Amino acid sequence: MPGELRWFVVAAMAGVGVWGCTRAEPPAPDASPSVAAPELPAPSSSASSAPVASASTAAPSASVDPSTLPQTRDRPVASGPAFEARVASLWSAIVADDPQQAVPFFFPVSAYQQVKDIPDPASDWKHRLFAAYAHDIHALHARLGSDAPNARFTGIDVPEARGRWVDPGEEYNKLGYYRVFGSRLRYEVDGAARSFDVKSLISWRGEWYVVHLSAIK
């Protein structure tokens, strides 16, 4: 084979080899390290020392108790399915003379433990606040008397314009919350309008809860 032709064949064969390699997937290095996704910290079940958030947070999942999460400065509103369900629980408790039915509308003990700067918040919640709540529910049921089976709940009036943010340091608090005095629970008996006082509501994560029902004790 003439020299020029031999040179052309060799060059052409080399070009085919290079073109073939450029179309193949590049081989992995022999010692390629594996890269794992970073581990995220597990969500905390308690946030007793967490500061008040300055903005709304994402809604917690159904499995998380909101009272264990950090406080927020979300302004509560006296409307919506969750609020209405809590109010209904209080009305049912009064009619049935059963304070346990009204637990959903009472300020949660886990939130109270975060708020109060006192030695034993849980004990104070149980023996003072909830005990007074239960006493008031029994008293309101007694006021209904024989009208209890015929009483019909009609609504609740919350003077939200009078609500204000209570700063940490007031009332032995470590965290702040919104508070409003002077709400009224409305009902009817045989068409006659009546009402009960709800002395004080305070907020947790943008929701209203009772902390004092008929009297501040």
The rounded percent of the chain whose pLDDT value lies above 90 is: 70
pLDDT digits over 131-174, tens only? 999 999 999 999 999 999 999 999 999 999 999 999 999 989 99
Helix (H) or strand (E) holding 115: helix 109-115
Dihedral, 108, 109, 111, 115 alpha carbons, nearest 10: 130
213: CB partners within 8 A, 6+ apart: 132, 133, 136, 137, 140, 197, 198, 199
Q: How many degrees, rounded to 5, is the angle at CA 64 between CA 61 and CA 70?
A: 105
The pLDDT score that the predictor gives to residue 217 is 85
On whether residue 110 sits in a domain, the answer given is: yes
Tens digit of pLDDT at every position of the chain (217 positions) = 544 434 433 344 444 343 333 333 333 333 333 333 333 333 333 444 445 665 444 556 667 999 999 999 999 999 999 999 999 999 999 999 999 999 999 999 999 999 999 999 999 999 999 999 999 999 999 999 999 999 999 999 999 999 999 999 998 999 999 999 999 999 999 999 999 999 999 999 999 999 999 999 8
On whether residue 6 sits in a domain, the answer given is: no
The pLDDT score that the predictor gives to residue 62 is 65
On whether residue 146 sits in a domain, the answer given is: yes
The pLDDT score that the predictor gives to residue 183 is 98
Q: Among residues 125, 104, 88, which one has the least CA distance to residue 207? A: 104
CA distances from 174 to 24, 89, 118, 129 (A): 65, 29, 9, 18
Provide the domain limits for residue 100: 67-212
Q: How many degrees, rounded to 5, is the angle at CA 194 between CA 192 and CA 195?
A: 165
The pLDDT score that the predictor gives to residue 47 is 40
158 exposure class (CB count in 10 Å sphere: 0-12, 13-18, 19+): buried
Q: What are phi and psi of 202, to 5 degrees?
A: -130, 165
On whether residue 29 sits in a domain, the answer given is: no
On whether residue 16 sits in a domain, the answer given is: no
In angstroms, the CA 196 to CA 107 distance is: 19
* CB distance 177 to 115 below 8 Å: yes
Q: What are phi and psi of 67, to 5 degrees?
A: -70, -15
On whether residue 58 sits in a domain, the answer given is: no
Number of domains in the chain: 1
On whether residue 9 sits in a domain, the answer given is: no
On whether residue 51 sits in a domain, the answer given is: no
